[in-house]
Amino acid sequence: MHVPHHNEPSEDESRSNETILSDYYTSQRILKGIHKGHGCPICGNTDVKSKLSRHTSICESCLQKMESDKCLIEEYLFKKAVRLEKISSNEIPFLISLTDQEKYNLLFRFFQVQTDIGQKETLGLVRYFVDLLQIPTDTDYFFETFYPRYLKEFTTKPGLLPRWCTEIPVGLREIRKPGEMIHYIDTMVIYDLKEVFKKKKTGKLFTLTWGRDRIYSHAKAGEETEWEYYEIYQGTVVISSERIIPLQSDGTYPFIFLIARITKLAMKQDGIEIVIDGRDHPYFIAGLNQNRGWNIRFCLENLVKKGTLIEKKSDEEL
Which residue spans within 182-269 are E strands per DSSP?
182-202, 206-210, 213-217, 220-240, 243-246, 257-258, 262-267
Q: Which pLDDT belongs to residue 213?
A: 56
DSSP summary character for residue 260: G
Q: Which pLDDT belongs to residue 63?
A: 85
Considering the entire predicted model, what is its pTM? 0.79
Decide: 311 and 265 in contact? Cβ < 8 Å. yes
Q: Which pLDDT belongs to residue 104?
A: 97
Q: Which pLDDT belongs to residue 39?
A: 75
Q: Which pLDDT belongs to residue 117?
A: 93
Strand pairing category for 213-217 and 206-210: antiparallel
Q: Which pLDDT belongs to residue 221?
A: 54
What is the identity of the amino acid at 122? Answer: T
Q: CA triplet 65, 67, 70: central angle to 5 degrees? A: 105
CA separation for the pair 15, 12 (Å, rounded)? 5
CA separation for the pair 69, 27 (Å, rounded)? 10
Q: Which pLDDT belongs to residue 30?
A: 82
Q: Which helix (H) or strand (E) holds 147?
A: helix 147-154
User: How much is the mean pLDDT over the chain?
Assistant: 84
Q: Which pLDDT belongs to residue 32?
A: 78
What is the identity of the amino acid at 73? Answer: I
Beta bridge partners of 187: 236
CA separation for the pair 234, 277 (Å, rounded)? 23
Q: Which pLDDT belongs to residue 1?
A: 33
Angle between helices 100-111 and 147-154 (to 10 degrees): 10
Low-confidence ranges of the chain (pLDDT < 70): 1-14, 34-37, 48-56, 198-223, 313-318
Helices (H), ranges, 271-318:
290-301
CA separation for the pair 201, 120 (Å, rounded)? 64
Give the phi and the psi of residue 90 in degrees, each rounded to 5. -75, -20
Q: Which pLDDT belongs to residue 148?
A: 96
Residue of 99, 74, 97, 77 whose CA lies nearest to 86: 77
Q: Which pLDDT belongs to residue 33?
A: 73
Q: Which pLDDT belongs to residue 10?
A: 46
